[in-house]
Structure 1
Protein backbone atom coordinates (compact mmCIF):
# COMPACT_ATOMS: atom_id res chain seq x y z
CA UNK A 1 0.00 0.00 0.00
CA UNK A 2 1.39 3.42 -0.94
CA UNK A 3 1.17 6.56 1.15
CA UNK A 4 2.26 10.12 0.48
CA UNK A 5 4.86 11.47 2.88
CA UNK A 6 4.76 15.13 1.88
CA UNK A 7 5.20 17.64 -0.89
CA UNK A 8 8.53 18.95 -2.17
CA UNK A 9 8.69 22.14 -4.21
CA UNK A 10 10.58 21.31 -7.40
CA UNK A 11 10.77 24.51 -9.41
CA UNK A 12 7.47 24.99 -11.15
CA UNK A 13 6.35 21.43 -10.43
CA UNK A 14 5.05 19.80 -7.27
CA UNK A 15 6.74 16.60 -6.11
CA UNK A 16 5.01 14.30 -3.64
CA UNK A 17 7.19 11.80 -1.79
CA UNK A 18 5.70 8.49 -0.72
CA UNK A 19 6.37 4.85 0.06
CA UNK A 20 4.90 1.61 -1.18
CA UNK A 21 5.45 -2.03 -0.31
CA UNK A 22 6.84 -4.66 -2.67
CA UNK A 23 7.27 -8.08 -1.01
CA UNK A 24 7.30 -6.37 2.41
CA UNK A 25 10.12 -4.03 1.34
CA UNK A 26 9.42 -0.32 1.63
CA UNK A 27 10.13 1.45 -1.66
CA UNK A 28 10.53 5.24 -1.67
CA UNK A 29 9.19 7.12 -4.67
CA UNK A 30 8.69 10.67 -5.85
CA UNK A 31 5.70 11.69 -7.97
CA UNK A 32 6.10 14.97 -9.87
CA UNK A 33 3.12 16.73 -11.41
CA UNK A 34 3.77 19.38 -14.09
CA UNK A 35 2.72 23.00 -13.99
CA UNK A 36 3.09 23.71 -10.28
CA UNK A 37 0.00 21.80 -9.24
CA UNK A 38 -1.69 18.47 -9.63
CA UNK A 39 -2.91 18.35 -13.20
CA UNK A 40 -5.10 16.17 -15.35
CA UNK A 41 -2.05 13.97 -15.89
CA UNK A 42 -1.59 13.05 -12.23
CA UNK A 43 -2.65 9.66 -10.95
CA UNK A 44 -1.63 7.62 -13.99
CA UNK A 45 -4.85 6.06 -15.31
CA UNK A 46 -5.20 6.59 -19.06
CA UNK A 47 -2.43 9.18 -19.34
CA UNK A 48 1.20 8.37 -20.16
CA UNK A 49 3.56 8.61 -17.19
CA UNK A 50 7.35 8.94 -17.35
CA UNK A 51 8.97 6.34 -15.07
CA UNK A 52 12.66 6.81 -14.24
CA UNK A 53 14.99 3.96 -13.17
CA UNK A 54 18.30 4.99 -11.65
CA UNK A 55 21.82 3.64 -12.16
CA UNK A 56 23.60 0.94 -10.13
CA UNK A 57 24.66 3.36 -7.39
CA UNK A 58 21.90 5.87 -8.04
CA UNK A 59 18.77 7.18 -6.37
CA UNK A 60 15.91 9.60 -6.90
CA UNK A 61 18.04 12.58 -5.91
CA UNK A 62 20.91 11.63 -8.22
CA UNK A 63 18.70 12.34 -11.21
CA UNK A 64 19.27 15.99 -10.21
CA UNK A 65 16.59 18.26 -11.75
CA UNK A 66 15.95 16.05 -14.80
CA UNK A 67 12.58 14.68 -13.53
CA UNK A 68 11.32 18.22 -12.94
CA UNK A 69 12.56 19.40 -16.33
CA UNK A 70 10.82 16.52 -18.12
CA UNK A 71 7.57 17.04 -16.20
CA UNK A 72 7.50 20.70 -17.27
CA UNK A 73 8.62 20.22 -20.87
CA UNK A 74 6.49 17.17 -21.62
CA UNK A 75 3.48 18.20 -19.48
CA UNK A 76 3.41 14.69 -18.08
CA UNK A 77 3.63 13.21 -14.65
CA UNK A 78 7.01 11.73 -13.67
CA UNK A 79 7.67 8.89 -11.23
CA UNK A 80 11.15 8.16 -9.90
CA UNK A 81 11.77 5.49 -7.28
CA UNK A 82 14.65 4.07 -5.24
CA UNK A 83 15.26 0.36 -5.70
CA UNK A 84 15.60 -1.65 -2.49
CA UNK A 85 18.78 -0.81 -0.62
CA UNK A 86 19.20 2.50 -2.44
CA UNK A 87 18.24 6.04 -1.56
CA UNK A 88 15.53 6.03 1.11
CA UNK A 89 14.17 2.56 0.32
CA UNK A 90 14.49 -0.33 2.76
CA UNK A 91 17.51 -2.60 2.44
CA UNK A 92 17.13 -6.30 1.83
CA UNK A 93 19.54 -8.72 3.51
CA UNK A 94 20.23 -10.88 0.50
CA UNK A 95 23.26 -10.31 -1.70
CA UNK A 96 22.53 -9.70 -5.36
CA UNK A 97 22.33 -12.80 -7.55
CA UNK A 98 23.26 -12.93 -11.22
CA UNK A 99 19.62 -12.31 -12.13
CA UNK A 100 19.08 -9.21 -10.00
CA UNK A 101 18.24 -6.98 -12.98
CA UNK A 102 15.86 -9.58 -14.39
CA UNK A 103 14.03 -9.72 -11.05
CA UNK A 104 13.78 -5.94 -10.93
CA UNK A 105 12.40 -5.91 -14.48
CA UNK A 106 9.93 -8.77 -14.26
CA UNK A 107 8.78 -8.59 -10.63
CA UNK A 108 9.54 -5.30 -8.90
CA UNK A 109 8.89 -2.80 -11.71
CA UNK A 110 5.49 -4.31 -12.66
CA UNK A 111 4.51 -4.27 -8.97
CA UNK A 112 5.50 -0.60 -8.64
CA UNK A 113 3.52 0.35 -11.74
CA UNK A 114 0.48 -1.59 -10.54
CA UNK A 115 0.62 -0.07 -7.06
CA UNK A 116 0.80 3.45 -8.51
CA UNK A 117 -1.91 2.82 -11.10
CA UNK A 118 0.34 3.43 -14.10
CA UNK A 119 -1.01 1.77 -17.24
CA UNK A 120 0.98 3.58 -19.92
CA UNK A 121 4.58 4.05 -18.79
CA UNK A 122 7.39 5.62 -20.77
CA UNK A 123 10.55 4.19 -19.25
CA UNK A 124 13.76 6.18 -18.84
CA UNK A 125 16.70 4.26 -17.40
CA UNK A 126 20.33 5.00 -16.64
CA UNK A 127 23.04 2.29 -16.62
CA UNK A 128 21.63 -0.63 -14.57
CA UNK A 129 18.26 1.10 -14.72
CA UNK A 130 18.60 1.24 -18.50
CA UNK A 131 19.23 -2.51 -18.66
CA UNK A 132 16.26 -3.16 -16.38
CA UNK A 133 14.08 -1.06 -18.68
CA UNK A 134 15.21 -3.03 -21.74
CA UNK A 135 14.61 -6.35 -20.00
CA UNK A 136 11.12 -5.26 -18.93
CA UNK A 137 10.17 -4.29 -22.48
CA UNK A 138 11.89 -7.23 -24.15
CA UNK A 139 10.47 -9.86 -21.80
CA UNK A 140 6.94 -8.48 -22.00
CA UNK A 141 6.65 -7.98 -18.25
CA UNK A 142 5.86 -4.31 -19.00
CA UNK A 143 4.34 -2.84 -22.17
CA UNK A 144 5.81 0.69 -22.31
CA UNK A 145 4.94 3.32 -24.88
CA UNK A 146 8.68 3.90 -25.27
CA UNK A 147 12.04 3.17 -23.66
CA UNK A 148 14.86 5.72 -23.42
CA UNK A 149 18.16 4.43 -22.09
CA UNK A 150 21.28 6.32 -21.00
CA UNK A 151 24.57 4.36 -20.86
CA UNK A 152 22.87 0.95 -21.03
CA UNK A 153 24.48 -2.47 -20.60
CA UNK A 154 23.23 -5.19 -22.96
CA UNK A 155 26.28 -7.40 -22.41
CA UNK A 156 29.43 -7.20 -20.29
CA UNK A 157 32.46 -5.42 -21.70
CA UNK A 158 36.00 -5.42 -20.33
CA UNK A 159 35.85 -1.64 -19.89
CA UNK A 160 32.93 -2.06 -17.49
CA UNK A 161 34.72 -4.54 -15.24
CA UNK A 162 37.89 -2.46 -15.33
CA UNK A 163 35.91 0.64 -14.38
CA UNK A 164 34.29 -1.10 -11.42
CA UNK A 165 37.65 -2.39 -10.22
CA UNK A 166 39.01 1.15 -10.44
CA UNK A 167 36.16 2.62 -8.41
CA UNK A 168 36.51 -0.17 -5.85
CA UNK A 169 40.04 1.09 -5.23
CA UNK A 170 38.47 4.37 -4.04
CA UNK A 171 35.61 2.74 -2.17
CA UNK A 172 35.77 4.75 1.04
CA UNK A 173 35.68 8.03 -0.84
CA UNK A 174 32.84 6.76 -3.00
CA UNK A 175 30.83 5.50 -0.02
CA UNK A 176 31.31 8.84 1.73
CA UNK A 177 29.87 10.62 -1.31
CA UNK A 178 26.96 8.19 -1.55
CA UNK A 179 25.98 8.96 2.05
CA UNK A 180 24.39 12.22 0.87
CA UNK A 181 21.85 10.25 -1.15
CA UNK A 182 21.52 6.84 0.51
CA UNK A 183 20.46 5.62 3.95
CA UNK A 184 22.68 2.55 3.52
CA UNK A 185 25.60 3.69 1.33
CA UNK A 186 28.03 0.89 2.20
CA UNK A 187 25.44 -1.81 1.56
CA UNK A 188 24.49 -0.19 -1.75
CA UNK A 189 28.11 -0.03 -2.90
CA UNK A 190 29.25 -3.46 -1.76
CA UNK A 191 26.21 -5.32 -3.07
CA UNK A 192 26.59 -3.64 -6.47
CA UNK A 193 30.35 -4.21 -6.63
CA UNK A 194 30.21 -7.84 -5.52
CA UNK A 195 27.77 -9.00 -8.19
CA UNK A 196 29.44 -7.14 -11.04
CA UNK A 197 32.89 -8.53 -10.12
CA UNK A 198 31.67 -12.12 -9.74
CA UNK A 199 33.42 -14.06 -12.55
CA UNK A 200 30.25 -15.83 -13.68
CA UNK A 201 28.52 -12.47 -14.18
CA UNK A 202 30.78 -11.93 -17.20
CA UNK A 203 28.33 -14.17 -19.08
CA UNK A 204 25.32 -11.93 -18.36
CA UNK A 205 23.78 -10.98 -21.72
CA UNK A 206 20.35 -9.58 -22.63
CA UNK A 207 20.93 -9.23 -26.38
CA UNK A 208 18.47 -12.05 -27.19
CA UNK A 209 15.66 -9.94 -25.66
CA UNK A 210 16.26 -6.83 -27.75
CA UNK A 211 14.48 -8.05 -30.88
CA UNK A 212 11.30 -8.44 -28.84
CA UNK A 213 11.08 -4.74 -28.00
CA UNK A 214 8.42 -3.39 -30.35
CA UNK A 215 8.06 0.12 -28.92
CA UNK A 216 10.33 3.05 -29.84
CA UNK A 217 13.76 2.96 -28.17
CA UNK A 218 16.20 5.85 -27.73
CA UNK A 219 19.83 5.10 -26.79
CA UNK A 220 22.12 7.84 -25.45
CA UNK A 221 25.74 7.30 -24.47
CA UNK A 222 28.78 9.48 -23.87
CA UNK A 223 31.90 8.95 -25.91
CA UNK A 224 33.86 9.07 -22.65
CA UNK A 225 31.74 6.50 -20.80
CA UNK A 226 33.98 4.71 -18.30
CA UNK A 227 31.79 1.60 -18.28
CA UNK A 228 30.83 1.00 -21.90
CA UNK A 229 31.72 1.57 -25.54
CA UNK A 230 29.72 2.58 -28.59
CA UNK A 231 29.15 -1.16 -29.14
CA UNK A 232 26.30 -0.85 -26.65
CA UNK A 233 24.61 1.77 -28.83
CA UNK A 234 25.14 -0.06 -32.11
CA UNK A 235 24.03 -3.40 -30.67
CA UNK A 236 20.71 -2.03 -29.42
CA UNK A 237 20.05 0.04 -32.54
CA UNK A 238 20.71 -2.95 -34.80
CA UNK A 239 18.72 -5.40 -32.67
CA UNK A 240 15.62 -3.54 -31.49
CA UNK A 241 13.28 -2.87 -34.45
CA UNK A 242 12.43 0.76 -33.61
CA UNK A 243 15.64 2.01 -32.00
CA UNK A 244 17.73 5.11 -32.65
CA UNK A 245 20.95 6.07 -30.92
CA UNK A 246 23.28 8.99 -30.28
CA UNK A 247 26.90 9.01 -29.14
CA UNK A 248 27.64 12.24 -27.29
CA UNK A 249 30.97 14.06 -27.36
CA UNK A 250 32.50 15.47 -24.16
CA UNK A 251 30.29 13.20 -22.09
CA UNK A 252 30.91 10.37 -19.63
CA UNK A 253 28.79 7.72 -17.96
CA UNK A 254 26.52 10.16 -16.10
CA UNK A 255 25.31 11.96 -19.18
CA UNK A 256 22.57 13.96 -17.45
CA UNK A 257 25.29 15.52 -15.29
CA UNK A 258 27.83 16.12 -18.07
CA UNK A 259 25.38 17.28 -20.78
CA UNK A 260 22.17 18.17 -18.90
CA UNK A 261 20.52 20.39 -21.50
CA UNK A 262 21.33 18.11 -24.41
CA UNK A 263 20.09 15.02 -22.59
CA UNK A 264 16.91 16.78 -21.50
CA UNK A 265 16.29 17.87 -25.10
CA UNK A 266 16.68 14.36 -26.53
CA UNK A 267 14.49 12.87 -23.83
CA UNK A 268 11.76 15.51 -24.01
CA UNK A 269 11.46 15.11 -27.79
CA UNK A 270 11.38 11.33 -27.51
CA UNK A 271 8.86 11.25 -24.66
CA UNK A 272 6.57 13.74 -26.39
CA UNK A 273 6.61 11.65 -29.54
CA UNK A 274 5.79 8.46 -27.65
CA UNK A 275 3.00 10.16 -25.71
CA UNK A 276 1.45 11.56 -28.88
CA UNK A 277 1.64 8.21 -30.69
CA UNK A 278 0.07 6.42 -27.73
CA UNK A 279 -2.81 8.82 -27.18
Structure 2
Protein backbone atom coordinates (compact mmCIF):
# COMPACT_ATOMS: atom_id res chain seq x y z
CA UNK A 1 0.00 0.00 0.00
CA UNK A 2 1.18 3.52 -0.72
CA UNK A 3 2.57 5.74 2.02
CA UNK A 4 0.20 7.86 4.07
CA UNK A 5 0.89 11.38 5.26
CA UNK A 6 -0.06 11.77 8.93
CA UNK A 7 -0.21 14.70 11.37
CA UNK A 8 -0.80 17.44 8.81
CA UNK A 9 1.61 15.80 6.40
CA UNK A 10 4.56 15.76 8.80
CA UNK A 11 4.84 11.98 9.34
CA UNK A 12 5.37 9.55 6.48
CA UNK A 13 3.98 6.04 7.09
CA UNK A 14 3.36 2.86 5.12
CA UNK A 15 0.34 0.68 5.84
CA UNK A 16 -0.24 -3.01 5.13
CA UNK A 17 -3.07 -5.44 5.78
CA UNK A 18 -6.39 -5.12 7.60
CA UNK A 19 -7.50 -5.60 11.20
CA UNK A 20 -6.49 -4.11 14.57
CA UNK A 21 -3.69 -1.57 14.31
CA UNK A 22 -0.09 -2.34 15.20
CA UNK A 23 2.41 0.51 14.84
CA UNK A 24 6.11 -0.30 14.36
CA UNK A 25 8.73 2.28 15.40
CA UNK A 26 12.27 1.78 14.08
CA UNK A 27 15.64 2.22 15.77
CA UNK A 28 18.06 5.14 15.57
CA UNK A 29 20.75 3.17 13.73
CA UNK A 30 18.36 1.78 11.14
CA UNK A 31 15.18 2.72 9.26
CA UNK A 32 11.69 1.33 8.83
CA UNK A 33 12.98 -1.34 6.42
CA UNK A 34 14.31 -3.13 9.52
CA UNK A 35 10.73 -4.45 9.90
CA UNK A 36 10.43 -5.79 6.34
CA UNK A 37 10.94 -9.41 7.42
CA UNK A 38 8.04 -9.41 9.91
CA UNK A 39 5.48 -7.15 8.19
CA UNK A 40 4.07 -9.83 5.85
CA UNK A 41 3.25 -12.15 8.76
CA UNK A 42 1.78 -9.39 10.94
CA UNK A 43 -0.29 -8.08 8.02
CA UNK A 44 -2.19 -11.39 7.84
CA UNK A 45 -4.05 -10.45 11.02
CA UNK A 46 -3.37 -6.75 11.58
CA UNK A 47 -3.32 -3.36 9.94
CA UNK A 48 0.40 -2.70 10.17
CA UNK A 49 1.52 0.94 10.18
CA UNK A 50 5.25 1.56 9.74
CA UNK A 51 6.10 5.25 10.09
CA UNK A 52 9.40 6.99 9.63
CA UNK A 53 10.28 8.72 12.89
CA UNK A 54 10.62 12.53 12.85
CA UNK A 55 13.69 13.55 10.88
CA UNK A 56 13.99 10.18 9.11
CA UNK A 57 13.06 9.53 5.48
CA UNK A 58 10.04 11.60 4.49
CA UNK A 59 9.05 12.65 8.02
CA UNK A 60 9.68 16.20 9.20
CA UNK A 61 12.05 16.73 12.11
CA UNK A 62 10.89 18.24 15.40
CA UNK A 63 12.67 20.34 18.00
CA UNK A 64 12.40 19.63 21.70
CA UNK A 65 14.21 16.31 22.14
CA UNK A 66 12.71 12.89 22.73
CA UNK A 67 9.59 14.32 24.38
CA UNK A 68 8.74 16.23 21.22
CA UNK A 69 9.37 13.13 19.10
CA UNK A 70 7.05 11.15 21.37
CA UNK A 71 4.37 13.85 21.15
CA UNK A 72 4.53 13.90 17.36
CA UNK A 73 4.28 10.12 17.17
CA UNK A 74 1.39 10.12 19.65
CA UNK A 75 -0.48 12.34 17.21
CA UNK A 76 0.28 9.90 14.43
CA UNK A 77 -0.88 6.91 16.49
CA UNK A 78 -4.13 8.68 17.35
CA UNK A 79 -4.70 9.45 13.70
CA UNK A 80 -4.08 5.97 12.31
CA UNK A 81 -4.68 3.71 15.32
CA UNK A 82 -7.68 2.21 17.06
CA UNK A 83 -7.35 3.81 20.47
CA UNK A 84 -7.16 1.26 23.27
CA UNK A 85 -6.97 -1.58 20.73
CA UNK A 86 -3.73 -0.29 19.20
CA UNK A 87 -0.43 -2.09 19.80
CA UNK A 88 2.77 -0.04 19.56
CA UNK A 89 6.01 -1.96 18.98
CA UNK A 90 9.30 -0.08 19.22
CA UNK A 91 12.82 -1.31 18.58
CA UNK A 92 15.82 0.46 20.12
CA UNK A 93 15.28 4.23 19.79
CA UNK A 94 11.75 3.44 18.65
CA UNK A 95 11.24 1.62 21.94
CA UNK A 96 12.34 4.66 23.92
CA UNK A 97 9.95 6.78 21.84
CA UNK A 98 7.10 4.31 22.49
CA UNK A 99 7.82 4.28 26.24
CA UNK A 100 8.00 8.07 26.44
CA UNK A 101 4.79 8.26 24.43
CA UNK A 102 2.99 5.92 26.85
CA UNK A 103 4.22 7.99 29.81
CA UNK A 104 3.17 11.32 28.33
CA UNK A 105 -0.04 10.12 26.67
CA UNK A 106 -1.80 7.51 28.83
CA UNK A 107 -4.25 5.40 26.87
CA UNK A 108 -2.54 6.05 23.53
CA UNK A 109 -2.21 2.28 23.07
CA UNK A 110 -3.60 -0.83 24.70
CA UNK A 111 -0.34 -2.79 24.63
CA UNK A 112 3.36 -2.13 24.12
CA UNK A 113 6.15 -4.29 22.78
CA UNK A 114 9.51 -2.76 23.74
CA UNK A 115 12.36 -4.51 21.95
CA UNK A 116 15.96 -3.82 22.94
CA UNK A 117 15.55 -0.58 24.85
CA UNK A 118 15.25 0.39 28.51
CA UNK A 119 14.46 3.30 30.82
CA UNK A 120 17.99 4.68 31.23
CA UNK A 121 21.55 3.94 30.12
CA UNK A 122 24.51 3.19 32.34
CA UNK A 123 27.33 5.72 32.39
CA UNK A 124 29.36 3.71 29.80
CA UNK A 125 26.23 3.64 27.62
CA UNK A 126 25.80 7.40 27.96
CA UNK A 127 29.45 7.93 27.09
CA UNK A 128 29.04 5.83 23.92
CA UNK A 129 26.23 8.12 22.76
CA UNK A 130 28.23 11.24 23.57
CA UNK A 131 31.15 9.87 21.55
CA UNK A 132 28.94 9.00 18.58
CA UNK A 133 27.32 12.44 18.68
CA UNK A 134 30.71 14.16 18.69
CA UNK A 135 32.13 11.97 15.90
CA UNK A 136 29.05 12.47 13.73
CA UNK A 137 29.20 16.21 14.29
CA UNK A 138 32.91 16.65 13.56
CA UNK A 139 33.62 13.87 11.05
CA UNK A 140 30.23 12.89 9.62
CA UNK A 141 28.27 9.64 9.72
CA UNK A 142 30.88 7.57 7.82
CA UNK A 143 33.12 7.94 10.87
CA UNK A 144 30.61 6.10 13.08
CA UNK A 145 29.19 3.60 10.58
CA UNK A 146 31.36 0.67 11.73
CA UNK A 147 30.45 1.37 15.36
CA UNK A 148 26.77 1.64 14.45
CA UNK A 149 26.80 -1.70 12.65
CA UNK A 150 28.56 -3.40 15.59
CA UNK A 151 25.84 -2.06 17.87
CA UNK A 152 23.18 -3.54 15.60
CA UNK A 153 24.67 -6.91 14.66
CA UNK A 154 27.21 -9.36 16.02
CA UNK A 155 30.39 -9.77 13.97
CA UNK A 156 29.48 -13.31 12.91
CA UNK A 157 26.10 -12.16 11.58
CA UNK A 158 27.76 -9.37 9.60
CA UNK A 159 30.19 -11.83 8.02
CA UNK A 160 27.41 -14.24 7.06
CA UNK A 161 25.11 -11.58 5.58
CA UNK A 162 27.21 -9.25 3.40
CA UNK A 163 24.35 -8.09 1.16
CA UNK A 164 22.10 -7.25 4.08
CA UNK A 165 24.94 -5.42 5.79
CA UNK A 166 25.61 -3.40 2.65
CA UNK A 167 21.94 -2.39 2.66
CA UNK A 168 22.00 -1.54 6.38
CA UNK A 169 25.11 0.60 5.97
CA UNK A 170 23.54 2.51 3.11
CA UNK A 171 20.38 3.03 5.16
CA UNK A 172 22.36 4.37 8.10
CA UNK A 173 24.30 6.77 5.89
CA UNK A 174 21.02 8.27 4.65
CA UNK A 175 20.26 9.43 8.22
CA UNK A 176 20.29 13.19 8.75
CA UNK A 177 23.49 13.74 10.78
CA UNK A 178 21.90 16.58 12.77
CA UNK A 179 18.92 14.40 13.71
CA UNK A 180 21.32 11.60 14.65
CA UNK A 181 23.44 13.87 16.85
CA UNK A 182 20.42 15.32 18.65
CA UNK A 183 18.99 11.84 19.26
CA UNK A 184 22.33 10.60 20.64
CA UNK A 185 22.54 13.57 22.98
CA UNK A 186 18.97 12.96 24.16
CA UNK A 187 19.64 9.28 24.88
CA UNK A 188 22.84 10.20 26.74
CA UNK A 189 20.80 12.12 29.33
CA UNK A 190 17.53 10.17 29.31
CA UNK A 191 16.17 8.68 32.54
CA UNK A 192 12.56 7.49 32.42
CA UNK A 193 12.82 5.32 35.53
CA UNK A 194 10.89 7.68 37.83
CA UNK A 195 7.90 7.65 35.44
CA UNK A 196 7.55 4.06 34.22
CA UNK A 197 5.46 3.03 37.20
CA UNK A 198 2.60 4.99 35.64
CA UNK A 199 2.49 2.91 32.45
CA UNK A 200 -0.63 0.88 33.23
CA UNK A 201 -0.90 -1.27 30.11
CA UNK A 202 0.49 -4.73 29.41
CA UNK A 203 4.06 -4.57 28.13
CA UNK A 204 6.18 -7.25 26.50
CA UNK A 205 9.87 -6.44 26.96
CA UNK A 206 12.19 -8.22 24.52
CA UNK A 207 15.97 -8.17 24.30
CA UNK A 208 18.56 -10.02 22.27
CA UNK A 209 20.93 -11.96 24.50
CA UNK A 210 23.91 -10.51 22.58
CA UNK A 211 22.65 -6.91 22.41
CA UNK A 212 25.62 -4.62 23.09
CA UNK A 213 23.78 -1.36 22.35
CA UNK A 214 21.10 -1.86 25.00
CA UNK A 215 22.34 -4.82 27.08
CA UNK A 216 19.87 -7.28 28.66
CA UNK A 217 20.38 -5.68 32.07
CA UNK A 218 18.58 -2.58 30.80
CA UNK A 219 15.56 -4.59 29.71
CA UNK A 220 15.51 -6.48 33.01
CA UNK A 221 15.48 -3.19 34.90
CA UNK A 222 12.73 -1.84 32.64
CA UNK A 223 10.50 -4.91 33.04
CA UNK A 224 10.98 -4.85 36.82
CA UNK A 225 9.89 -1.21 36.99
CA UNK A 226 6.74 -1.54 34.89
CA UNK A 227 3.48 -2.52 36.65
CA UNK A 228 2.46 -5.15 34.09
CA UNK A 229 5.42 -6.45 32.10
CA UNK A 230 6.93 -9.72 30.95
CA UNK A 231 10.56 -10.08 29.90
CA UNK A 232 11.72 -12.40 27.12
CA UNK A 233 15.41 -12.82 26.22
CA UNK A 234 15.84 -13.81 22.57
CA UNK A 235 18.61 -16.39 22.08
CA UNK A 236 21.23 -15.71 19.46
CA UNK A 237 19.97 -12.18 18.75
CA UNK A 238 21.53 -8.74 19.02
CA UNK A 239 19.92 -5.26 18.78
CA UNK A 240 17.62 -5.81 15.78
CA UNK A 241 16.14 -9.27 16.38
CA UNK A 242 13.22 -8.82 13.98
CA UNK A 243 15.74 -8.51 11.16
CA UNK A 244 18.29 -11.02 12.41
CA UNK A 245 15.88 -13.83 13.40
CA UNK A 246 12.36 -12.87 12.28
CA UNK A 247 10.83 -16.26 13.10
CA UNK A 248 12.18 -16.14 16.65
CA UNK A 249 10.90 -12.59 17.03
CA UNK A 250 7.44 -13.42 15.70
CA UNK A 251 7.17 -16.47 17.94
CA UNK A 252 8.08 -14.32 20.94
CA UNK A 253 5.34 -11.75 20.31
CA UNK A 254 2.66 -14.09 18.93
CA UNK A 255 0.73 -14.85 22.14
CA UNK A 256 0.98 -11.27 23.38
CA UNK A 257 -0.34 -9.84 20.12
CA UNK A 258 -3.05 -12.49 19.83
CA UNK A 259 -4.24 -11.81 23.38
CA UNK A 260 -5.09 -8.26 22.37
CA UNK A 261 -7.34 -9.55 19.59
CA UNK A 262 -9.09 -12.01 21.89
CA UNK A 263 -10.32 -9.36 24.32
TM-score range, shorter chain: 0.7 to 0.9
Could you say which residue in structure 2 is the equivalent of 1:79? 49
Does the CA-based 8 Å contact 1:101-1:128 persist in structure 2? no
2:73 corresponds to which of 105, 109, 112: 109
1:171 corresponds to which of 118, 141, 154: 141
SS of 1:17's partner is: coil
Does the CA-based 8 Å contact 2:118-2:221 persist in structure 1? no
> Residues of 1 paired with 2:118 and 2:81: CA distance?
29
Superposed CA deviations along residues 186-243 of structure 1, whole A, max 9, x for unmatched, are 51x4422344247xx6432011221111111111111211212222222122111110
Superposed CA deviations along residues 28-64 of structure 1, whole A, max 9, x for unmatched, are 211111xxxxx5x2xxxxxx31111111133222212
1:53 corresponds to which of 9, 13, 25: 25
Q: Which has the higher helix share?
A: 2
Residue 271, structure 1, aligned to residue 249, structure 2: no
Structure 1 residue 22 displacement after superposition:
3.0
Moved more, 110-119 or 50-59: 110-119
Residue 147, structure 1, aligned to residue 87, structure 2: no
Superposed CA deviations along residues 169-200 of structure 1, whole A, max 9, x for unmatched, are 89317398568548x8251x4422344247xx
> Residues of 2 paired with 1:159 and 1:251: CA distance?
22
> Residues of 1 paired with 2:128 and 2:81: CA distance?
38
- With a CA cutoff of 8 Å and minimum separation of 6, indicate the structure with the bigger relative contact order: 2
2:195 corresponds to which of 168, 187, 209: 209
> Residues of 2 paired with 1:195 and 1:86: CA distance?
11
Structure 1 residue 129 displacement after superposition:
0.8
Q: Point out where structure 1 has 5 or more consecutive residues left out of the alignment.
A: 1-15, 34-38, 42-47
1:30 corresponds to which of 5, 9, 14: 14
Residue pairs, 1:106-145, within 5 angstroms: 107-116=71-80, 118-119=82-83, 120-145=85-110
Q: Point out where structure 2 has 5 or more consecutive residues left out of the alignment.
A: 149-165
SS of 1:211's partner is: helix
> Residues of 2 paired with 1:231 and 1:221: CA distance?
9
> Residues of 1 paired with 2:247 and 2:97: CA distance?
24
Aligned residues: 237
Does the CA-based 8 Å contact 1:30-1:80 persist in structure 2? yes
SS of 2:95's partner is: helix
SS of 2:77's partner is: helix
2:174 corresponds to which of 159, 162, 185: 185
Could you say which residue in structure 1 is the equivalent of 2:34? 62
SS of 1:235's partner is: helix
Superposed CA deviations along residues 12-41 of structure 1, whole A, max 9, x for unmatched, are xxxx1223243663x2211111xxxxx5x2
TM-score, length-normalised on structure 2? 0.78
> Residues of 1 paired with 2:243 and 2:120: CA distance?
24
Could you say which residue in structure 2 is the equivalent of 1:7? none
